[in-house]
Structure 1
Amino acid sequence: MKSQQRLYSLILAALIAAITCILAPFAIPLPMTPVPISLTNLVIFFSLYLIGWKWSLVSYGVYILLGLIGLPVFSGFSGGLGKAAGPTGGYLIGFFFLIIIAGIVIEKYPARPFGCAIGMVLGMAAAYAFGTAWLSYQLKLTFWAGLMTGVFPYLIGDALKIAAALLLGPTLQRAVKRLPVKQSIQKQ
């Protein structure tokens, strides 16, 4: 039973990694910053509801590894070590903190939307902090200038992503739990 659940979680993690690889490159560049608008964190928020934070770490780790080896899965259809070491690389790493912080809160308080929202906000704050520190270092900006460049333009959009995850995440979670695929894996 436990190995079947692990297989099911692994399949979902792989599927979410594939979805991340498909959606993350479609980024909207902004003229005043090297940080584009991306759907990566939205996929992460949904993954936390669907597979939990531990499997979300695995899924996101696979996505990062695929990008690091050069597949064009990062924003703007880019990949490679240069992208990760560039000005936006801190956000790629910061999303690991988002997964851990928001994921633990969502798993602990799944029926409390306000608590889940707080977890997502705290997770995004950690990702912002790490990303901004790296962006500021790379571009030789003050931390405040880094916030102006890499955080403030994204607050409304990220708030909307959090709202979408809060509204749709629990519904998707219930739908995935009822999938016949899970039932057929459990019967084997």
Structure 2
Amino acid sequence: MSKTFSVQKMAIIALMTAVLCILAPISIPVFISPVPISLGVLAIYLTAYVLSPVDALISVIIFILLGTFGLPVFSGYSGGLSKLVGPTGGYIIGFLFTVYISSLFIHMKKGIIFDVIGMITGLALCYILGTIWFSYQQGKGFIASLLLCVVPFLIGDAIKIIVAVILGTQLNKRLAHLDL
């Protein structure tokens, strides 16, 4: 069997999907926004550290499919197609961009600053996609939606990036021998 489809690689993809499924539902409702504070973005960043861009993308696709088919893996222990096509569904789809771009930057191994730039870039695309979708769903302007769904989360997402750099760097060191 080729290295690309090794049992070890599939197990790590499955493990990171499980991490997503465990952390992403943990959320705190925010009274000023329909988008809750969630550990989903942190789980996305950790997945980006552990897996190559393509493998990280596969892990998030599996996560989204599990949620779409009704498993309670989205924020607030919710799931189902209605969550994906609802007002915050664009942010869930945006996770695909966040994980791929973050992993791409991280696996270039140019240093922590480059890792952070990748995470910010990936999250910015998630924010843009999610905000466009939210605006469409709710009939609100883009700026109003941005102020409602993104601005309140910037500090928390900055903290998640710091935590991801600390944990992700350690995970990479510990998993380096696996040659993923």
TM-score range, shorter chain: over 0.9
Q: Which amino acid aligns with 2:38?
A: S
Q: Does 1:44 align with 2:44?
A: yes
Task: Mark the runs of 5 or more structure 2 residues left unpaired by the alignment.
Answer: none
Structure 1's consecutive aligned runs of 4 or more residues displaced over 3 angstroms after TM superposition are 1-5
Q: Deviations over 1:37-73 (max 9, x none)?
A: 1111111111111112111111111111111111111
Residue aligning to 1:176:
175
TM-score scaled by structure 2? Answer: 0.93
Corresponding letter in the other structure for 1:51: L
Matched, 1:155 2:162: no
Please report how far the alpha carbon of residue 164 of structure 1 lies from its aligned counterpart in structure 2 after TM superposition: 1.2
Aligned pair count reads: 179
Deviations 1:76-127 (A, max 9, x none): 111111000111000000111111222111111x241111111111111000
1:61 aligned partner, one-letter code: I
Compute the displacement of 1:3 (Å): 3.5
Write the distance in 2 (CA, Å) between the matches of 1:31 and 1:75: 15
Partner amino acid, structure 2, of 1:152: V
- Secondary structure, counterpart of 2:70 in structure 1: coil
When Rg is computed on C-alpha atoms for both structures, the one with the higher figure is 1
CA RMSD of aligned residues (A): 1.7
Letter in 2 for 1:133: I
- Farther off after superposition, 155-164 or 6-15: 6-15
> Which residue does the alignment assign to 1:70?
70
Deviation at 1:4, TM superposition (A): 7.8
1:145 paired residue number: 144
Identify unmatched segments of 5+ residues in structure 1. 184-188
SS at match of 1:116: helix
CA contact (8 A) 2:45 2:164 kept: yes
Instruction: Report the equivalent of 1:135.
Output: 134
Distance in 1, matches of 2:112 and 2:67, equals 33
What's the counterpart of residue 106 of structure 2?
106
Deviation for aligned residue 1:168: 2.1
Counterpart of 2:92 in structure 1 is: 92
After TM superposition, the score normalised by the length of structure 1 is: 0.90
Matches within 5 A, 1:21-60: 21-60=21-60
SS of 2:6's partner is helix
